[in-house]
């Protein structure tokens, strides 16, 4: 099972809630939940995979400001469940266990509203633009070639 499949499992367990799950340094939401959080909280949404978007909140921020996060989510009147890695948690994924650290009862989101279906979202087309590292590397290689030509030119003039 991949991590996004684990999140999808939790979404099925809580179909009326936006689900966020700790993954690395972020509490991430995927699919419909990511689009909802982008629209309601202004979070930046990115592509996790083709036709699967994600967004998240930094773990350190949420843990340090849990009451503020709770208040902000309650103001938006949406149902939310945030899962963190907890020893002895109810849900297991690989060698970690997870459980809810924040649950808010708000408006149910059981039905998909217009444009909340991730596959139909025009902003969620997965494209890998230009690999910046490769461009920088190519420019570096070009610079090396130019330097080699200059050195060869200097050697010719010296002889």
Q: What is the pLDDT of residues 6-15, one digit of tens each?
A: 888 998 888 8
Q: Mind listing the pLDDT tens digit for each residue in 41-53? A: 888 777 766 567 8
Burial of 65: CB neighbours in 10 Å, binned 0-12, 13-18, 19+: middle
pLDDT of 140 reads 62
Phi then psi for residue 76, to 5 deg, are -80, -10
Cα separations (Å) of 11 from 15, 34, 158?
5, 12, 73
Q: Mind listing the pLDDT tens digit for each residue in 103-152? A: 988 877 665 554 455 555 554 443 334 444 444 444 567 777 888 888 88
Nearest-5° Cα angle at 43, 38 to 47: 75
Average pLDDT over residues 97-105: 90
Q: Strand, helix or coil at 137?
A: helix
């Amino acid at each position: 099972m991949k991590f996004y499949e684990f999140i999808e499992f939790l979404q099925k367990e809580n179909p009326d809630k936006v689900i966020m799950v700790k993954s690395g340094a972020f509490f991430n939401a995927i699919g419909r939940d990511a689009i909802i959080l982008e629209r309601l909280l202004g979070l930046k949404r990115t592509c996790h995979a083709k036709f699967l978007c994600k967004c998240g909140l930094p773990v350190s921020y949420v843990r340090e400001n849990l009451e503020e996060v709770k208040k902000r989510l309650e103001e938006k009147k949406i149902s939310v469940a945030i899962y963190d890695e907890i020893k002895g948690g109810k849900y297991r994924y690989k060698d970690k266990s997870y459980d809810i650290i924040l649950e808010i009862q708000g408006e149910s989101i059981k039905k998909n509203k217009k444009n909340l279906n991730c596959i139909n979202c025009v902003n969620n087309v997965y494209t890998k633009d230009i690999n910046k590292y490769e461009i920088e590397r190519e420019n570096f290689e070009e610079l090396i070639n130019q330097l080699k030509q200059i050195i060869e030119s200097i050697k010719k003039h010296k002889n």
